[in-house]
Structure 1
């Protein structure tokens, strides 16, 4: 297979499925051959990211990711994409394993926020406790001069319920709970834009987008970037050139 990319997924599986569904549905097709070429590594056995980030006595998820990246690198994909926000905790270590370019979902999403909301100096963030605990998004936003609003103590338990109790455990999206979280972030904490810092939240947005709030959805954004880059490479543009504006 020529001109393909590798997806490091399975964190969690239905969130990865959402990403794949987005790229398949958004690419313009007239025949089977118009779809993108990719290899999906749905490694559902990767240890819990948040558990390790908060407590290093828990199983480290890096070895599994390292193995997946190295095995895929041998196949020489044009680029890697990893549709999991919290796993970007190890982005630098993973990207250094190979010369294959590795898209950074968080940075791409943040630059999308800056481009589309240049006058907004603050963004609300809802995410896993791991992403928040280790300042994964907060640090990236600080680099570009933006502030983060996490909301009050009532927000994270609601987010955890949506991510873990609903989506990960039951495979369902509680639309009303999702709307409640967005409404609180907007009305109570003054967030005109809210960043969905977990791919389970991106799944919620895919399934329950009928709301009035402005969101930055990294998974949706990286799906569009994936399509743009893959099609440019297919048209004969060198991978490094096709990826250039996205390698922040």
Structure 2
């Protein structure tokens, strides 16, 4: 079987990209170096902030930078592209139109996974950047599968942004208990079946096993799909 090369447009943020790479390795069924996936990772840390691009309507600047990354990955001969950033998927159609290379749609794959696990009319929560939440990309994907998506209150959104920008991106001590509390409020107070972790910075925080069982982590979905599309098997 011919295995396929994976391209990654990363740096959004760098820590999330490093976690994505580590988890690709950890979750690939491999016994030696040669069993792993060939990857080209672009840690493009200077890409404009995605939430800012959405709110200030400056997406064209962001897309110009992405276009450079796409050209590099085309020259490298990758077969699939993963973008471990939920908010960047607001521009998915524009990016997709730049190339014939398959770009894995993390939002679509995540909504499909929620549907497969919990079925139609499931009530699920979501935590992510203000850009991801307000853009409606997850609501659109969930509507396709007739899933009821409960977005965070303004207070919860503010707390989530502090965790993402101050703790993870800002390099402060990561306190998993704050994130776990937000997740469990969706489960216990709002009667949600699960919570979509829709920010790769949040994905880099180690949650307890008890809380993690209520989560659908979009980055984990992207990791698994990237492994499968590369022709490799997931580690059991």
Secondary structure (helix, strand or coil) at the match of 2:127 reads strand
The answer for the alignment partner of 1:173 in structure 2 is: 174
Trace 1:203-218 onto structure 2 (pairs within 5 A). Answer: 203-204=204-205, 207-212=206-211, 213-218=213-218
- Contact 2:28–2:232 (Cα < 8 Å) also in 1: no
Question: Structure 1 stretches of 5 or more lacking a match?
Answer: 234-248
Distance 2:76 2:99 in 1: 12
What TM-score comes out, normalization by structure 2 length? 0.91
What TM-score comes out, normalization by structure 1 length? 0.87
Question: Structure 2 stretches of 5 or more lacking a match?
Answer: none
Tell me, yes or no, if structure 1 residue 163 matches structure 2 residue 170. Answer: no
User: What do the CA deviations read for 1:40-93 (whole angstroms, capped 9, x no partner)?
Assistant: 000000000001111226883211111111221122211111111000111111
The Cα RMSD (Å) is: 1.9
Tell me, yes or no, if structure 1 residue 105 matches structure 2 residue 100. Answer: no
Secondary structure (helix, strand or coil) at the match of 1:169 reads coil
The answer for the alignment partner of 2:133 in structure 1 is: 132
Trace 1:1-248 onto structure 2 (pairs within 5 A). Answer: 3-56=4-57, 60-118=61-119, 121-170=122-171, 172-204=173-205, 207-212=206-211, 213-231=213-231
Secondary structure (helix, strand or coil) at the match of 1:39 reads strand
Distance 1:154 1:232 in 2: 42
Secondary structure (helix, strand or coil) at the match of 1:159 reads helix
Q: Which structure is higher in RCO with an 8 Å CA cutoff and minimum separation 6?
A: 2
Distance 1:14 1:182 in 2: 22
How far did residue 209 of structure 1 move? 3.4
Secondary structure (helix, strand or coil) at the match of 1:154 reads helix
How far did residue 175 of structure 1 move? 0.7
Distance 1:4 1:171 in 2: 35
Distance 1:218 1:110 in 2: 9
How far did residue 171 of structure 1 move? 5.5
